Amino acid sequence: MDLSWMAWTQPTAIFFAVIASLLIVMSVWEYFSPGGAPRVGILRFETTRGDRLFVSLLGSAFISMAWLALVGLNLWWGLAACVVFAVLVFLFV
């Protein structure tokens, strides 16, 4: 099968591997600790671990797009901003 149209580069493969790993880790975590520990954070509605993962991934996508538009192709600092954002989401949302 010819998948050259998908631009499978090493960064693309790493990106999908990280997303798959996050989903596997969250699934294992949910298996051993069911319920997701719902809590009310700064958004003032109840969220679970899965909700916080979704918000952090969605926010990271917007941070990355803004970084590309405003700064350029050097994404390492943008990645750092995404990691900080994800940690803050899991702590406070």
Q: Per residue in 29-63, pLDDT tens?
A: 889 888 767 889 888 889 988 899 999 999 999 99
**Residue 43: domain span:** 4-92
Q: How many CB atoms neighbour CB 67 within 10 A?
A: 19
The number of beta carbons lying within 10 Å of the beta carbon of residue 87 is 11
Q: Domain count of the chain?
A: 1
With a pLDDT cut of 90, the percent of the chain lying above it is 42
At residue 3, the pLDDT reads 64
- Is residue 80 scored above 80 in pLDDT? yes
CB atoms within 10 A of CB 9: 9
What is the enclosing helix (H) or strand (E) of 72? none
Q: DSSP code of 39? A: E
